[in-house]
């Protein structure tokens, strides 16, 4: 009775497969990293826009002004007169350097004191914008008296 011969992979075949996998990974990993950066910056910009809109809507509902203060050095902002939903009774504070954003505030144009005030009608006191940055991706959130609804603009991708 003939003995069946078991055949495995040769060392050359295994090396070729490892090289192919390495080449595919070298192409895919930078693209995946770029997608993660774009996802983070979009999330950060959407959070800032949503919070500015929250301050605007709360000002209208309460018929009282609401102030959003940005700290470009600490990369965070506060909304005065609104309680933090995660810590009731405390001031609403968002740290953009924390997870899941890990973003930096490059530029804030909210008056001389980095404050944007929405009056009791929900109108901003001036044109304002915030520029956020992660890696090589930059987004800008803009609010104008003519269009108080915050909008997001892509500066770089």
Please state the rounded mean pLDDT for residues 60-72.
94
Domain that holds residue 36: 11-156
How much is the mean pLDDT over the chain?
90
Distance set, CA 49 to CA 25, 121, 154 (Å): 36, 18, 13
Q: pLDDT tens, 84-128?
A: 888 888 999 999 999 999 999 998 988 777 899 999 999 999 999
Most confident stretch, 13-27, 77-91, 130-144: 130-144
Q: Which residues contact 34 (CB under 8 A, 6 or more apart)?
A: 135
Most confident stretch, 10-14, 24-28, 50-54: 50-54
Which pLDDT value is given to residue 112? 73
* CATH code, domain with 59: 3.55.40.10
Residue 5 counted as domain residue: no
Domain count, the chain: 1
Q: What is d(CA 73, CA 82) in angstroms, rounded to the nearest whole number?
A: 23
Which pLDDT value is given to residue 2? 59
Statement: the pTM of the whole predicted model exceeds 0.75: yes
Which pLDDT value is given to residue 3? 62
Strands of the chain, DSSP E = 66-71, 76-83, 91-95, 104-109, 115-118, 128-134, 137-143, 151-156
Residue 124 counted as domain residue: yes
Residue 147 counted as domain residue: yes
Residue 37 counted as domain residue: yes
pLDDT of 1 over the 80 cut = no
């Amino acid at each position: 009775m003939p003995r069946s011969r078991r055949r495995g992979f040769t060392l050359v075949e295994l090396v070729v497969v490892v090289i192919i996998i390495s080449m595919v990974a070298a192409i895919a990993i930078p693209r995946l990293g770029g997608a993660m950066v774009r996802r983070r910056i979009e999330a950060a910009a959407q959070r800032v826009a949503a919070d500015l809109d929250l301050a605007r809507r709360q000002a209208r509902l309460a018929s009282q002004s609401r102030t959003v203060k940005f700290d470009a050095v600490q990369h965070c902002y506060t909304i005065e007169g609104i309680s933090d939903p995660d810590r009731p009774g405390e001031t609403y504070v968002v740290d953009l350097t924390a997870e899941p954003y890990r973003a930096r505030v490059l530029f804030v144009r909210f008056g001389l004191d980095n404050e944007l005030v929405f009056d009791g009608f929900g109108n901003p006191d001036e044109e304002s914008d915030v520029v956020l940055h992660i890696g090589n991706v930059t987004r800008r959130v803009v609010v104008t008296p003519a269009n108080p609804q915050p909008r997001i603009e892509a500066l770089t991708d």
